Structure 1
């Protein structure tokens, strides 16, 4: 199960890299923006995997697997906020670079989907902040639901 999930992660990253390579770039500025966005995607994917680690802990019937995954998740959760902040900063730099490079094309579908995705990211980060202050079941569910909504819009933004 874990090997399958890691394979899906690697295939997703590979698919995005190949799509980016296929689309090409007009300038070095756009290339830099794409590279920053790809780095941010990988960081967000690492954070999203926390949900699946916790899911495997709950669903696994093998005690040794549960203990191993709990140790991994304990180490990973220490860096969850730092990874999210770093990825968010990379996204902001990506947005600034792309807006300056493609200023005349601001009203295209790619840019509009990016703006919507950025708004969803802001809601996701705010839900994480609320969850960090006081963790309730509703805040936890809303935070991970927003994470999946954000990822869906990221894919929409990438492949538009």
Structure 2
């Protein structure tokens, strides 16, 4: 298995812990649920990276075939899940700004704004690659934006 499965699992557990801790100490807010839902959609799409990494690194041909068939079934939904994640995260951001005001000196809002912009670029690069230019250069950009999104989510959770 790929190390990305472990990273994804750790981040998922951390997110569930943060949301549960937030709900135990505060009134459940819609913006928290939207942020968590958007995160789950991103993580669903990002797990494909772990699947592809596993396919490249394992020697068992039957496992490679099973994982490739699984990924092929998920592929048609990948772009719509990513677009849905973007829409939900933008709603999350609007509700946060409505509730707390837009203040870039607040690290949570700053990191969330950077992550939202990165997610916008990630989704646009995915659609661009599908509809206009499927070159390797765009694919590498898309994967790089996905990795940076993963890191930005971690930073957003820290603050």
**Structure 1 and Structure 2 fold alike (TM over 0.5):** yes
CA distance in 1, matches of 2:41, 2:143: 16
TM-score by length of 1: 0.87
Segment of structure 1 superposing worse, 6-15 or 96-105: 6-15
1:150 aligned partner: 149
For residues 30-69 of structure 1, the aligned pairs below 5 Å read 31-69=29-67
Gaps of 5+ in 2: none
Alpha-carbon distance, 1:11 to partner: 3.5
Cα distance, 1:26 vs structure 2: 5.3
Aligned residues: 157
| Uncovered stretches (5+) of structure 1, i.e. residues with no partner | none
What's the CA shift string for 1:67-120, capped at 9, x where partnerless? Answer: 101110101111101111111111011011111011275641111111111111
Q: Does structure 1 retain, via aligned residues, the 8 Å contact 2:86–2:116?
A: no
Q: 1:157 to 1:63 in 2, by over 3 A?
A: same
Which of 111, 116, 119 is 1:113 aligned to?
A: 111
| TM-score, L = length of structure 2 | 0.87
Counterparts in 2 of 1:7 and 1:121: CA distance versus 1, 3 Å = closer
Supply the distance in 2 between the matched residues of 1:120 and 1:35 (Cα, whole angstroms): 21
Alignment match, 2:20: 21
